[in-house]
Structure 1
Amino acid sequence: MAEDINRLKVVLALKKRTNKWLATELNVNPTTVSKWCTNTTQPDLYTLSRIAKLLEIDIKMLLNSNDEL
């Protein structure tokens, strides 16, 4: 089974933001953000960096690791 690579869904919930909000901010289809949140696909590094800036967090918070938030 594939490992979840990003924690976007968790971080969006912590920041009280929605998939739709992120899609609008990035000018991407909401389905794309949904796929990122379910780890079906992954954003590229440039997009991941943009997401981190929009959410005002360190990019490391978006990556799945053994570290706690």
Structure 2
Amino acid sequence: MDVVLTMWLQDRRSRATGPICRETTRIIREFSGGWYGKTLHREGGFNSVEAARFGHVALKKIVDDGNRHAILTP
């Protein structure tokens, strides 16, 4: 594969995945900040089981958003 084609393919991939990555980052920042603050205030801290539960819910939010994005994008 020549260099120009490779660069073109990389550019197309970046343009396609960029908005999805930014939205995923936004979800993680908003959800994790809110969860962390509420959990510290309400519980005084958290253990590994609660952190794993958070990770499960966060991943579900990301997947749901990705599915919604796939449905809305022609």
**Same fold flag (TM > 0.5):** no
Comparing both structures, which one devotes a greater share of its residues to helix?
2
Q: Which has the larger radius of gyration?
A: 2
> Please, what TM-score do these two structures have when normalized by structure 2?
0.27
> Please, what TM-score do these two structures have when normalized by structure 1?
0.28
Structure possessing the higher relative contact order (Cα contacts under 8 Å, 6 or more residues apart): 1
